[in-house]
Homo-oligomer: A and B are copies of this chain.
């Protein structure tokens, strides 16, 4: 399978559960945004056996640490993740809590003029809140 090597190279054992979660997350036409609850539902829909919620959390965190997923900063009681790990930004629809990708080309280049010494910039993320 295509994900076995990817996992092994990351130092993660290619377990049945992780491979199935890879299918749901990465074997898709498009990238997408999700909360753990939404992912849990998607997994239930696409897979016959059960994967425990703890494993879903564990796996998402493992993948995030390896850089296969990103967390998106929004104000919500749930954590949002993104399978699109390129540098990009987001519209956040306050009405329904859905995110929409904003490519870098949709936002001008962002040049942070101020420096904090001893610190490096890890990421620059723009969140554009939308209302009706």
Contacts of A113 in B (CB 8 A): 105-107
Interchain residue pairs with CB less than 8 A apart (19): A73-B92, A91-B114, A91-B116, A93-B116, A93-B119, A94-B122, A102-B112, A105-B113, A107-B110, A107-B113, A108-B108, A108-B109, A108-B111, A118-B132, A121-B130, A122-B130, A125-B127, A126-B127, A127-B127
State the interface size on chain A (CB cutoff 8 A). Answer: 38
Q: Which of A74-132 contact B (CB under 8 A)?
A: 74-75, 79, 91-94, 100, 102, 105-114, 116, 118-132
Is A71 an interface residue when CB atoms closer than 8 A count as contact? Answer: yes
Contacts of A110 in B (CB 8 A): 107-108, 110, 126
Chain A interface main SS type: strand
Q: A108-B111, A120-B131, A126-B127 are in contact. List 7 more A-B contacts (CB 8 A).
A: A72-B75, A73-B92, A91-B116, A107-B113, A118-B132, A121-B128, A123-B129
Contacts of A132 in B (CB 8 A): 118-120
